[in-house]
Amino acid sequence: MADPVDGHFHACDVSDLDANRALVEFTQERYGGVDITLLNAGVATGCGVGEDFDPVRCRRAMGANLDGVVFGTHAVLPAPRARGGGSIVATASLAGLAAVPLDPLYAADKHAVVGLARSLGPALAPDNVRFNAVCPGFAESRIIDHLRGMLSEQGLPVIPAEAVADTVLRIVTGDDTGQCWFIQAGREPEPFRFRNVPGPARPVGA
């Protein structure tokens, strides 16, 4: 898939910090630096927290969905800093903005990515490195293979991969940081508007 865009493929286990570092080193040697990073790996867990709990599946999913984002960010961050700035985008999910009873551990991972994006946005701003997340619904990828029958029965459209790619392009060419862009079929992608956390209440009679 790299050939049509004159790119290069380099295998990487994103749950391995050293593998992330090796990928960044490869990219810098090949291209001279890194301006844009998309952290896009992800897997479903296939288990819950009850009788079907599987610690191996749980850790595998967390390794890809959360560790992959943390390790990837840590490994790549010196590169855009050295070039005066850059853009990092992490693929979260609509599961990072809503409840997912069918896969609560996946939702937990993606909620963590959303929290990371919201926090790293302002944290990295002094370095001119922008950090945002995309939160697609059911987008075209292998991760929805086991859901295709259910989606078809319920008449739920699958979001084209190009729609996600276009949103990532909007993010990296814009000025936002710390934003989590939702992507849903039939809607224009935009940053999700989080409600402010309530502040402390004044004591009665104060």
What CA–CA distances, in Å, run from 138 to 38, 131, 157?
Answer: 19, 23, 8
Residue with tokens 């479903």: 44
Given the residues 24, 105, 106, 138, the one annotated as active site: 106
| Beta partners for residue 8, in sequence order | none
What distance in Å separates the CA atoms of residue 110 and residue 79, rounded to the nearest whole number? 25
* Alpha-carbon distance values, 46 to 13, 60, 153, 169 (Å): 20, 11, 21, 31
> Whole-angstrom Cα distance, residue 171 to residue 177?
9
* 9: three-class secondary structure by DSSP: coil
Q: What is the distance between the alpha carbons of residues 124 and 130, in angstroms, rounded to a whole number?
A: 7
What is the number of other CB atoms lying within 10 angstroms of the CB of residue 206? Answer: 5
**Which of 77, 76, 190 lies closest to 134 in space, CA to CA?**
190
Strands (DSSP E) found in 5-61: 36-39
Tokens 């409600």 correspond to what residue? 195
**Is 31 an annotated catalytic residue?**
no
Catalytic residues: 106
